[in-house]
Chain A
């Protein structure tokens, strides 16, 4: 025993020495990365609520991943800062054929990927072929946005929207699609469809997604992507929960104003706030609406994004046949005091919805008026429908907060009180968001439910098309209604119109029809999400699509 005691410290010392000999610092000396001038910082540190899932945006569907990849990657089509409108990015212009099935993209010249590979028409076609030609595993899950937008992959043949790409010359790429749709070209602004280096994609075996247990395994490329953007990936320190990007000095456009961009992952909202107060981060996403006032008083800038979402109450006429009667659905709508809900339960800038899309989307019908709160009318309509005192099973989710629905329970309580006030017997149901709620909604298990949607790109199809388009399987079960089939056809017809103005007019009509004659559900409100930055941050434009870019941002010292 005594021997061991004496030997122990010596052993530890020996071990430490050995390890010291093995381990060596990779750090470069003289770490003064300063190139941002005298009065601005050389690093922006932003507090993110979650970790990016991977760095190949094609296989991602979550905002935390896109927040990072957006700084590094660009698509053919970009988004005009502060709006949902598209603008040229890697393509300088585009032109559809008369039937809307052939799209010719004129590409920006002189652009290079970080690995030195040229960006040209061949690279574009390589990217599209890569996105279309996915194995069965990737088709089932990770290639989510492609599946959503294109409705199929190469193996689906003519059923898929994307039908091929041709590089007619160095700077002209022609993309063929199977039918005319409003998704084109706006959907190409999605981060998932960013252009990546063909050479790096090939070398990193980028399409090799495998099933690993109950999850997906990704190839090495997904950790080390190559794009064309103003920043490039420096490192993802998983142990320290930080992602570091550095300026791409060969960027084709205006170079990033700050040399380094760090995303610090801080899941807890009050901790994000304290980090900002301590000055260790320069801003963070999704401040609690209750804190907006306090944050501003402390000298920070609360940047409110124009709302690009909708919160609604879904109705299922298949589950509760009383809901097949338009008068009942209208009665429920008149019963809701949405003005008050917006004032008391939703953040500043929230609006009462007049239709199932926000006014930032083309095809929004500005002539529609909201169903005004009218208790007597609601009771009258219920009486006419013979549904006085009807029972309604109405559900809300727990363990979740969404930009359109910051506190589901409080919102639900307000709506429920309104419904009960007109004599409806509300059966309260709740389930955790990932713990049965979404499943039950999709399986048609609730009479009525609280849910919403945040748009991905500026297209009415991305809102009402998603909700009511797929007749066979939509949550609103429009297949059992008298109007469902027609509505689905009208949506398809509007989507196929090539001329933008004509298409917008058609959608405005559909919106009117949905709200006045069909009313498949109750559109409630639009809530703007916000981000907050310190007073020293300049040049950050809030985006309705939460698509902020940091290349124009500086932070004063």
Chain B
């Protein structure tokens, strides 16, 4: 097992190195860039040349890449120019990652807590009214664009009913103490429970909007998978042996049906953790998705590079965790 993990982590290093080269080449190949973004209308050929020189952009590309690698090894990724100017891009990532994790975890918990039981129930009551209604809802979840859903949720729950806040992560008037960057957790740690409660209220609408797609996917995979397992011989055998329903459902049906669901959850988690651009934008959520959008708009290459590379790392790690989870659920994988 340990060898397996080490090998995968080594692979990750390879992926990151190759990707860094590709991302670097891609960003440099894009027309325009940081200089235009910084100068805007006031760009003149002279100001452009001065700025390019100051930033070292007049150097050949391989020299620029070599500089980038040298810095990256030292843990410096270059200062952000658009998202948080002057701050090292990796620090920008670290400031923003907790926000994205907080939102992703919340959305994922919602999606799993609703998706698996509903998927299981829908399969057990196949073709019933409940089954059909759930399928329609999951389809709507996939089909409705997130920004539209977000707009509706904000309109009803924040503007009309005023039950929940429109956007942001916390009411600025609360003046909360920051410890980890996870606002809900911070409030608990510092015993500023009102801050936690407020952060939690801010989480509800964005997680609902963000959860719709993972929910729909998890629901459908669970349903399909449970249907398949219910038809298996061993389930019939277990039933004929006279085992209790609880044991049949828990040990035989759910455990086996969960394998594909775990893979799906893993993939969804990866997707959510690298930042949900649209959801974060419409909820002014200061996470990676919001940073990516600003970085692209303002051609903040340092932040784009770090975010893309860290997205790759996140995916590899999540995949690794999924494989480990497999081993825990399925003893056959462990012995292989």
Residues of A within 8 A of B (CB): 16, 19-20, 22-27, 31, 43, 45, 50-51, 53-54, 61, 136-137, 139-141, 144, 147-148, 211-218, 222, 237-242, 244, 262, 264-268, 270-271, 274-275, 277-280, 399, 431-439, 442-443, 451-454, 466, 470, 473-474
Tell me, yes or no, whether B154 is within 8 Å of chain A by CB: yes
On chain A, the residues within 8 Å of B170 by CB distance are: 240
On chain A, the residues within 8 Å of B37 by CB distance are: 434
Q: How far apart sit A279 and B162, CA to CA, in the bound complex (Å)? A: 9
Residue among A266, A431, A451 with max Cβ neighbours from chain B (10 Å): A266
Q: How far apart sit A491 and B177, CA to CA, in the bound complex (Å)? A: 56
On chain A, the residues within 8 Å of B175 by CB distance are: 27, 31
B54 partner, pick from A20, A141, A244, A443, beta carbons under 8 A: A141
Chain B 69-107 interface 0/1 with A at a Cβ cutoff of 8 Å (1 = within): 001000011111101111011000001101100000000
User: Is A436 a contact of B40 with CB atoms below 8 Å?
Assistant: no
The segment from B185-193, B220-228, B230-238, B239-247 found at the interface with A is: B185-193
User: Is B32 a contact of A436 with CB atoms below 8 Å?
Assistant: yes
User: Is A267 a contact of B293 with CB atoms below 8 Å?
Assistant: yes
User: Is B55 a contact of A141 with CB atoms below 8 Å?
Assistant: yes
Tell me, yes or no, whether B263 is within 8 Å of chain A by CB: no
User: Is B46 a contact of A473 with CB atoms below 8 Å?
Assistant: yes
User: Is B80 a contact of A470 with CB atoms below 8 Å?
Assistant: no
Closest Cβ–Cβ distance, residue B199 to chain A (whole Å): 9
Q: How far apart sit A274 and B188, CA to CA, in the bound complex (Å)? A: 30
User: Is B189 a contact of A19 with CB atoms below 8 Å?
Assistant: yes
Q: How far apart sit A242 and B202, CA to CA, in the bound complex (Å)? A: 15
Tell me, yes or no, whether B48 is within 8 Å of chain A by CB: yes
Q: How far apart sit A277 and B160, CA to CA, in the bound complex (Å)? A: 9
A43 partner, pick from B71, B84, B99, B173, beta carbons under 8 A: B173
User: Is A268 a contact of B284 with CB atoms below 8 Å?
Assistant: yes
User: Is A432 a contact of B32 with CB atoms below 8 Å?
Assistant: yes
Kindly report which residue of chain A lies nearest to residue B189, judged by CB atoms.
Answer: A23
B42 partner, pick from A144, A271, A279, beta carbons under 8 A: A144
Q: How far apart sit A25 and B37, CA to CA, in the bound complex (Å)? A: 40
Tell me, yes or no, whether B47 is within 8 Å of chain A by CB: yes
User: Is B155 a contact of A442 with CB atoms below 8 Å?
Assistant: no
Q: How far apart sit A274 and B153, CA to CA, in the bound complex (Å)? A: 11
Q: How far apart sit A326 and B165, CA to CA, in the bound complex (Å)? A: 59
Question: Which 5 A-B pairs give the minimum distances between C-beta atoms?
Answer: A213-B78, A140-B54, A436-B31, A215-B79, A212-B79
Chain B 255-299 interface 0/1 with A at a Cβ cutoff of 8 Å (1 = within): 000000000000000000000000001111010001001100111
Tell me, yes or no, whether B137 is within 8 Å of chain A by CB: no
B32 partner, pick from A271, A431, A453, A474, beta carbons under 8 A: A431
User: Is A239 a contact of B78 with CB atoms below 8 Å?
Assistant: no
Closest Cβ–Cβ distance, residue B292 to chain A (whole Å): 12
Q: How far apart sit A452 and B40, CA to CA, in the bound complex (Å)? A: 11
Tell me, yes or no, whether B51 is within 8 Å of chain A by CB: yes
User: Is B54 a contact of A136 with CB atoms below 8 Å?
Assistant: yes
Q: How far apart sit A503 and B258, CA to CA, in the bound complex (Å)? A: 81
On chain B, the residues within 8 Å of A137 by CB distance are: 54
9 interchain pairs, CB-CB under 8 A: A24-B190, A25-B190, A26-B190, A214-B55, A222-B86, A240-B286, A262-B173, A399-B297, A473-B45
User: Is B282 a contact of A434 with CB atoms below 8 Å?
Assistant: no
On chain A, the residues within 8 Å of B165 by CB distance are: 278, 280
A237-B172, A442-B44 known; A214 vs B50 contact (CB < 8 Å): no
On chain A, the residues within 8 Å of B301 by CB distance are: 214
A141-B54, A442-B43 known; A213 vs B166 contact (CB < 8 Å): no
User: Is A274 a contact of B32 with CB atoms below 8 Å?
Assistant: no
On chain B, the residues within 8 Å of A277 by CB distance are: 159
A141-B50, A266-B284, A271-B282 known; A437 vs B189 contact (CB < 8 Å): no
User: Is A265 a contact of B284 with CB atoms below 8 Å?
Assistant: yes
User: Is B95 a contact of A239 with CB atoms below 8 Å?
Assistant: yes
User: Is B166 a contact of A278 with CB atoms below 8 Å?
Assistant: yes
User: Is A215 a contact of B281 with CB atoms below 8 Å?
Assistant: no
Residue among B85, B192, B293 with max Cβ neighbours from chain A (10 Å): B85
A452 partner, pick from B32, B41, B54, B85, beta carbons under 8 A: B41
User: Is B38 a contact of A23 with CB atoms below 8 Å?
Assistant: no
User: Is B30 a contact of A435 with CB atoms below 8 Å?
Assistant: yes
Residue among A54, A217, A437, A474 with max Cβ neighbours from chain B (10 Å): A217
On chain A, the residues within 8 Å of B151 by CB distance are: 270, 274
Closest Cβ–Cβ distance, residue A155 to chain B (whole Å): 13
On chain B, the residues within 8 Å of A31 by CB distance are: 175
B286 partner, pick from A54, A217, A238, A275, beta carbons under 8 A: A238
A270 partner, pick from B32, B46, B96, B282, beta carbons under 8 A: B282
Tell me, yes or no, whether B34 is within 8 Å of chain A by CB: yes
Closest Cβ–Cβ distance, residue A440 to chain B (whole Å): 8
User: Is A241 a contact of B284 with CB atoms below 8 Å?
Assistant: yes
User: Is A45 a contact of B32 with CB atoms below 8 Å?
Assistant: no
A216-B86, A262-B172 known; A237 vs B178 contact (CB < 8 Å): yes
Closest Cβ–Cβ distance, residue A21 to chain B (whole Å): 9
Kindly report which residue of chain A lies nearest to residue B30, judged by CB atoms.
Answer: A435
On chain B, the residues within 8 Å of A26 by CB distance are: 177, 190
User: Is B166 a contact of A141 with CB atoms below 8 Å?
Assistant: no
Closest Cβ–Cβ distance, residue B123 to chain A (whole Å): 28
Closest Cβ–Cβ distance, residue A54 to chain B (whole Å): 6
Q: Assuming A23-B186, A214-B56, A435-B32, what are 16 further A-B pairs, CB within 8 angstroms? A: A25-B190, A43-B173, A45-B172, A141-B54, A213-B67, A213-B71, A216-B54, A239-B98, A242-B172, A262-B173, A267-B294, A278-B159, A436-B36, A439-B36, A442-B45, A474-B44
On chain A, the residues within 8 Å of B79 by CB distance are: 212-217
User: Is B86 a contact of A147 with CB atoms below 8 Å?
Assistant: no
User: Is B177 a contact of A27 with CB atoms below 8 Å?
Assistant: yes
Tell me, yes or no, whether B183 is within 8 Å of chain A by CB: yes
Q: How far apart sit A262 and B170, CA to CA, in the bound complex (Å)? A: 13
A240-B168, A473-B44 known; A274 vs B158 contact (CB < 8 Å): yes
User: Is B39 a contact of A431 with CB atoms below 8 Å?
Assistant: no
Interface residues of B in 181-214 (CB under 8 A from A): 181, 183, 186, 188-192
User: Is A140 a contact of B78 with CB atoms below 8 Å?
Assistant: no
Residue among A144, A213, A240, A270 with max Cβ neighbours from chain B (10 Å): A213
Closest Cβ–Cβ distance, residue A356 to chain B (whole Å): 14
User: Is B78 a contact of A212 with CB atoms below 8 Å?
Assistant: yes
Interface residues of B in 127-172 (CB under 8 A from A): 151, 154-155, 158-159, 162, 165-172
On chain A, the residues within 8 Å of B176 by CB distance are: 27
Residue among A271, A454, A470 with max Cβ neighbours from chain B (10 Å): A271
Q: How far apart sit A140 and B47, CA to CA, in the bound complex (Å)? A: 8
Closest Cβ–Cβ distance, residue B4 to chain A (whole Å): 18
On chain A, the residues within 8 Å of B78 by CB distance are: 212-215
